[in-house]
Amino acid sequence: MGFFKKVKDGLLGTDGTGGGSGQQGVITAQELVDQAFEHFKMRLQDSSTDMSLLFPTSMIIYLNPEDYNARKQEFPARANDIKKKCMKEVRSQISGNSEWQDYIPHSKYWKIQFVEFKPECVINSDGDAHFSVEKGHVMIVSDLYANDLGESIGDSASSGGRIVTTVHNIKGTTSLQNLAINPDAFKDVTIVGQNCFRIEFLRADIYDTANNKHSAPVHSSTPPASKTSAETVVNRSTPSKQSNPAPKNLIAELQIWDSYFLVNDQKTDKYVIPSERLQITGPSATTSTDGAELLKIDDDSIMNPHLNIRYDTANHRYLISAVGDTKLNQRILERNPDNWSELPNNSTILLNGDIQLNFTLKNV
């Protein structure tokens, strides 16, 4: 198989860098990041033209067992390092091509997974069989698109010693806090499986926000204030006249996967709840049914309304009620707008079995 054929197929073992210069010859943190970056650059070169910029945003990184065990506690940081270094290269490419000045990422986020390549396993690619990953080096399978299909790597017990990639929907996420990791250090990183990380794109990844006209993030954490009286104001400092602001020492935030919120006719995947009552609807809604703040989702399958959230001032907690198909932390909610359930911090809300919302509380 030719070099660029391997690159196009997304499979490439590195043999020109690294070599295990770390303690006991295992791969160093820098070598791991650099080898992933070299793979990224080769695929970017192979997939891009002078009119379009394409690069892999999904990587499965196979490591020798010794390297894997030496670096496994660092994987959240290494995934973030790889994404940052690759996006630095993207920024460089954009600045040198006038056709890419209005570039928008082709994928909403990155997905990076680290896998231990055990001695009894083998991976096949277009007739080439790989029986091991050399200590100090990595082998990478990559894809242009980081979608919502996750890879599950079979072991020798389930796959006869052959690495098999199966596909299934990843709808539940694992909080970084469950692993005693400080979420503020990896605020853009979500764990979606064993050593598999989803990292969102930010506008700052692509543009110099201090000197570039593109100052808003790709995924805005604070929706812009409305310029007209016709649109609901979502800036926390100017709540709707129809509802009272939530306590100032508490901020509730929603993050959406698989779709976008529509705020002031702009798409965003994060929304700070500005008041005590919120109604979530589809894109065609014009007003809420009960005078609450209105939050639209850019998906026609969402009902008008679909979901209600309110703040219980007496007990200092958030509550939720469902009108459309809704699960709260894997529990089906009764479709009754008057049946309120407690909405705990770090909750996962699933709409129509497809669109995921993450609800978090922050003290300020």
Collapse the DSSP code of 92 into the 3-class scheme (helix H, G, I; strand E, B; otherwise coil) and give the result: helix
Residues 190 and 309 in one domain: no
Residues 307 and 179 in one domain: no
Highest mean pLDDT pick, 104-108, 206-210, 316-320: 316-320
Q: Could you tell me if 142 and 58 are in contact, meaning their C-beta atoms sit under 8 angstroms apart? A: yes
Q: pLDDT value at position 364?
A: 53
Domain CATH code at residue 299: 2.60.200.20
pTM: 0.52
Q: pLDDT value at position 190?
A: 78
Residues 148 and 273 in one domain: no
* Cis amide linkage into residue 305, ω under 30° from 0: yes
Residues 185 and 292 in one domain: no
Residues 192 and 106 in one domain: yes
Residues 72 and 149 in one domain: yes
Residues 197 and 327 in one domain: no
Q: Write the CB contacts of 315 (distance below 8 Å, at least 6 apart in sequence).
A: none
pLDDT digits (tens, 9 = 90+) for 190-241: 777 778 888 888 767 776 543 443 333 344 333 333 323 223 323 333 333 3
Alpha helices in 96-196 (DSSP H): 156-159
Residues spanned by the domain of 20: 3-206
Q: Is residue 26 in a domain?
A: yes
Confidence of residue 282 (pLDDT cuts 50, 70, 90): very high
CA dihedral 129, 132, 134, 140 (to 10 degrees): 60
Domain total in the chain: 2
Q: Is residue 219 in a domain?
A: no
Q: pLDDT value at position 130?
A: 64
Residues 117 and 185 in one domain: yes
Residues 24 and 135 in one domain: yes
Query: Which of 318, 289, 319, 293 shows the shortest CA–CA distance to 303?
Result: 289
Domain boundary among 173, 206, 239: 206
Residues 196 and 297 in one domain: no
* Model confidence at 167: pLDDT above 80: no
- The region of weakest confidence among 25-29, 39-43, 116-120, 335-339 is 116-120
Measured CA to CA, the distance from residue 287 to residue 47 in angstroms comes to 45
* Axis-axis angle for helices 75-95, 29-47 (nearest 10): 40
Q: What is the DSSP string of 183-230?
A: GGGGTTEEEEETTEEEEE--HHHHS-TTTSS--S-SS-SSPPPPSSTT
